[in-house]
């Protein structure tokens, strides 16, 4: 499991996380929602060790992420992370993009790594796009390529940071379908998203972040449809107005 205990994070004088407590169990899909600047993406990056913390601790499968004794590169193999930006290497085709980390990090031979890459491309519905360059793929295909690249390291957990927010509406569905597939296979996932439909349909629990704190946590029905806190109700009203405007 992932255990987040009283985690505090500041950028200069700005306290972004003010004492976050959250446990994510194996096989669980937890969605983080909240306004921009509430600390959602920062929390994901702290879980992965991309950002240091000023207080508290994050423990993944019994290993403290930010301890000086922790081999963070080895621990990150447990924690696949997919960002809003695709970050594909433009000079490598799709298969080579996915095969790169298994070769460099896991020290697989090229033939074995390319075979593994093909397997994961097929898993996300890109089996026929293996030899295509990133410039010839759509945004949705590039995002699924990023998911395949993360899966190639055989992570125990997947972290998703607003992976559909930069996509055209008609491309969002194919990425969400891939995430639903991973959930059905038992992957533990932490998802930062504004897609309330996905949250309602797929989340086991929802954590609403407000000004660096968890303002409310519970099932999708509890947090989205029947929030108990006024700041959650205000946020949900804004989200519904945005959905209606779209």
Pair 42, 9: CB distance under 8 Å: yes
pLDDT digits (tens, 9 = 90+) for 108-152: 999 999 999 999 999 999 999 999 999 999 999 999 999 999 999
Provide the percentage of residues in the chain whose pLDDT is more than 90. 81
What global pTM score does this model have?
0.92
> Measured in Å, how far apart are the chain's first and last C-alpha atoms?
37
Provide the percentage of residues in the chain whose pLDDT is more than 70. 98
List the domain boundaries for the chain: 2-244
Burial environment of residue 146 by CB neighbours within 10 A (0 to 12, 13 to 18, 19 or more): buried
Residue 246 has pLDDT above 80, yes or no: no
Pair 60, 159: CB distance under 8 Å: no
Tokens of 61: 């499968």
Q: Indicate the pLDDT class of residue 19, thresholds 50, 70 and 90.
A: very high
CATH number listed for the domain at residues 2-244: 3.40.50.300
Pairing of β 55-60 and β 2-11:
antiparallel
Pair 35, 49: CB distance under 8 Å: no
Count, in order, helices (H) and strands (E) of the chain: 9, 10
């Amino acid at each position: 499991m992932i255990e987040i205990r009283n985690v505090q994070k500041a950028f200069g004088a700005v306290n972004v996380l003010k004492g976050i407590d959250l446990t994510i169990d194996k096989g669980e899909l937890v969605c983080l929602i909240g306004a921009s600047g509430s600390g959602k993406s920062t929390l994901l990056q702290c879980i992965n060790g991309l950002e240091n913390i000023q207080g508290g601790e994050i423990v993944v499968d019994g290993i403290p992420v930010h301890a000086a004794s922790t081999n963070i590169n080895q621990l990150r193999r447990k924690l696949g992370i997919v960002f809003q930006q695709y970050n594909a290497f433009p000079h490598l085709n799709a298969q080579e993009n996915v095969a790169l980390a298994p070769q460099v990090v896991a020290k697989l031979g090229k033939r074995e790594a390319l075979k593994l890459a093909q397997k994961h491309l097929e898993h996300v519905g890109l089996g026929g796009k293996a030899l295509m360059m990133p410039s010839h793929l759509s945004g949705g295909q590039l995002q699924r390529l990023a998911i395949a690249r993360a899966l190639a390291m055989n992570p125990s957990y997947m972290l998703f940071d607003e992976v559909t927010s930069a996509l055209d509406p008609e491309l969002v569905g194919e990425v969400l379908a891939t995430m639903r597939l991973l959930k059905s296979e038992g992957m533990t996932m932490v998802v930062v998203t504004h897609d309330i439909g996905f949250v309602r349909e797929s989340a086991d629990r929802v954590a609403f972040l407000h000004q660096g704190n968890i303002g409310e946590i519970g099932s999708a029905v509890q947090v989205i449809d029947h929030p108990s806190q006024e700041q959650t109700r205000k946020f949900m009203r804004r989200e519904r107005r945005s959905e209606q405007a779209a």
